[in-house]
A and B are shown apart, each in its own frame.
Chain A
Amino acid sequence: MCSISRTKALIVPRFLTPKQIVPATLRWYSDESKATKTPLYNLHNKYGGKVVDFAGFLLPVQYSDLSLSESHLFTRKSASIFDVSHMLQTNVRGKDCLSWFETLCPVDLKGMKNGSSSLTVFLNEKGGIIDDLIVTKVNDENLYVVSNAGRLAVDKQHMKETSELFRKKGKDVHVQFFNTSERALIALQGPKAASVLQNVTDIPINDLMFMTSTLGKVAGVVCRVTRCGYTGEDGVEISIPAERAEEVTEALLQFDDVKLAGLGARDSLRLEAGLCLYGNDIDESVSPVEANLTWLIAKRRRAEDNFPGSSIILRQIKEGVTKRRVGIRMETGPPARKGAVLKDSKTSETVGAITSGCPAPSLGGNVAMGYVSETLKKSGTELLVNIRGKDVPCVVAKMPFVPAKYYVKK
């Protein structure tokens, strides 16, 4: 399983007046003036992207050729390209980079092979999740990290401060953040992603297993290709030098099996895949145990008991927690959105809340995630969710809602 929550939560109720709906290329109001263009901004406009300010980046919600659910379903049956250049890409070098990174995360980097990647989390001293991220161990002296745009400032500060402290102890670690003028990141996702990519790369794609990473040429450009994603499908993320991002993307778009997809489809795809969105489903107030991500606490790290918040987290693993992240399924009715209150179906007592939810294009009906009392976490448990004042039946369900199609050895 795995992957990462890659985008900042922006589910904020807004009174939608025309003033807030601004043609992307014509003018931006004050709060949007600082928004950053990704290296693919012109390409989005060329292909009819409905561009919005998302976590300070100008990104498409969808494109004019497909509705959100069409784009979602196209990804599940063919392949889509998502511009995820807003995500923070970080390069870490130095003899002590593994030990430094292990002071921030519960990951077992030392036990990982070169060229392999892992989902992990930056933890605070209380065991709360500062951000989730994917770290690639390029080799013992080089890491490549991709973390959330919505946590860009926090992550940079965290890595900068802790690496400085580490250096003061005489250790060798250097952190280099890429901004969008330097590197782009695209995700190519879907059952046809690998075969399409093979047409334009010298990387033997059949050898690149899920959660492994390599350098190679894509459309003649040296890129970092990592077999991972945020849709539950097979696919890759391709880190490209910014000035070549358009040509690489265009080369992939030559194939009829590939279309562009935006943030809208990305959100419904990741929800069906049961993947967390930072700021919605996880944040500093919850631990990986509560977030049902206990598997992120590596065995060796549990034994060593030396990651941030490890005493709290290890106690939680042993003694349990009071709330847990679960999947919520509704086969009919209105979708439950963030903030909707969950109630016990017998007593109508409040037992939790939805953290994200939407209609499920692949399944029909709706899917959601939320936190419920530990006693109610079992799948099949019937609950009520309050939507616009009405209690609607829903049921705790196993995640992923849609089976994952990752490229793993069988």
Chain B
Amino acid sequence: MVVCSVFRVTSRLARSQLSAQCCSRALYSTEHKPRFYTKKHEWVSVNDNIGTVGISTYAQEALGEVVFVQLPEVGKEVAAGDECGALESVKAAGEVYSPVSGTITDKNSEVESKPALINKSCYEEGWLFRVKLSSPEELKQLMDQATYDKYLEEH
């Protein structure tokens, strides 16, 4: 996602919280399918060719408390990199881009009514939408957890 922010974020504190959360979250990923990340901080986790998409801890921290969520309509065709939703916090707006190509099969109506779920649980309850992959090989273009963690550290 791209955050159009009023302010550039984040302090040392937020950064240290981030790494702590990454560690605890990493435990989940052994129970579920692995997550793959975009450079714009969306993640996708694929099960039976259906990808679940959300934003990373890093992105939700940068955005702050989400207060409005706009998600793609079910049935919509998307290409990898297409803008297909938006998240708004008090201070910033962020567009969501699909990490993969395919057809939207589901959206998380729970986060539409409770946007803060994205801050509370960006990898579990705060998922955004599901997409049936038309080009599963695109996953190879994305970063795995270790690469993404390194990407965050290096940049």
Q: Roughly how many angstroms separate A388 CA and B155 CA in the complex, as a whole number?
A: 29
Q: Is A154 interfacial (CB 8 A cutoff)?
A: no
B91 touching A334 by the CB < 8 A rule?
no
A69 touching B58 by the CB < 8 A rule?
no
Known contacts A50-B13, A64-B13, A334-B70: A268-B7 contact under CB 8 Å: no
**Which residues in B have their C-beta under 8 angstroms from that of A361?**
90
| Minimum C-beta distance from A340 to chain B (A) | 10
- Considering only residues 92-128 of chain B, those with a C-beta below 8 Å from chain A are 93-95, 119
Q: Roughly how many angstroms separate A49 CA and B11 CA in the complex, as a whole number?
A: 7
Q: Is A20 interfacial (CB 8 A cutoff)?
A: yes
**Which residues in B have their C-beta under 8 angstroms from that of A51?**
11
B155 touching A18 by the CB < 8 A rule?
yes
Number of contact residues on B: which range applies? Answer: 35 or more
A21 touching B65 by the CB < 8 A rule?
no
A48 touching B13 by the CB < 8 A rule?
yes
B64 touching A359 by the CB < 8 A rule?
no
Q: Is B10 interfacial (CB 8 A cutoff)?
A: yes
Residue among A49, A50, A62, A268 with the most chain B CB within 10 A?
A50
A21 touching B90 by the CB < 8 A rule?
no
Residue of A nearest to B94 (CB): A16
Q: Is B151 interfacial (CB 8 A cutoff)?
A: yes
A67 touching B88 by the CB < 8 A rule?
no
| Minimum C-beta distance from A233 to chain B (A) | 18
Residue among B7, B14, B119, B155 with the most chain A CB within 10 A?
B7
B8 touching A53 by the CB < 8 A rule?
yes
Q: Roughly how many angstroms separate A55 CA and B30 CA in the complex, as a whole number?
A: 45
Known contacts A334-B88, A358-B91: A15-B2 contact under CB 8 Å: yes
| Minimum C-beta distance from B116 to chain A (A) | 8
B64-95 CB contact bits vs A (8 Å, 1 = yes)?
11011010000000000000001011110111
B90 touching A268 by the CB < 8 A rule?
yes
Known contacts A18-B155, A67-B64, A67-B65: A264-B90 contact under CB 8 Å: yes
Q: Is A384 interfacial (CB 8 A cutoff)?
A: no
Residue among B8, B11, B68, B119 with the most chain A CB within 10 A?
B11
B8 touching A267 by the CB < 8 A rule?
no
A11 touching B8 by the CB < 8 A rule?
no
Q: Which of A23-31, A133-141, A202-210 contacts B (4 or more CB under 8 A)?
A: A23-31
A23 touching B88 by the CB < 8 A rule?
no
A54 touching B4 by the CB < 8 A rule?
no
8 Å CB contact of B8 from A20, A48, A264, A388: A20
Would you list the 6 A-B pairs with minimal beta carbon distance, nearest first?
A: A18-B155, A23-B12, A13-B4, A16-B3, A68-B90, A67-B65
Interchain residue pairs with CB less than 8 A apart (28): A14-B3, A14-B4, A14-B8, A16-B8, A16-B62, A18-B58, A18-B151, A23-B10, A23-B12, A23-B15, A24-B12, A45-B11, A45-B12, A49-B11, A52-B8, A53-B8, A54-B7, A60-B11, A61-B7, A61-B91, A64-B13, A64-B17, A68-B89, A68-B90, A69-B65, A69-B67, A264-B90, A333-B68
Interface residues of B (CB under 8 A from A): 2-15, 17, 39, 58, 62, 64-65, 67-68, 70, 86, 88-91, 93-95, 119, 151-152, 154-155
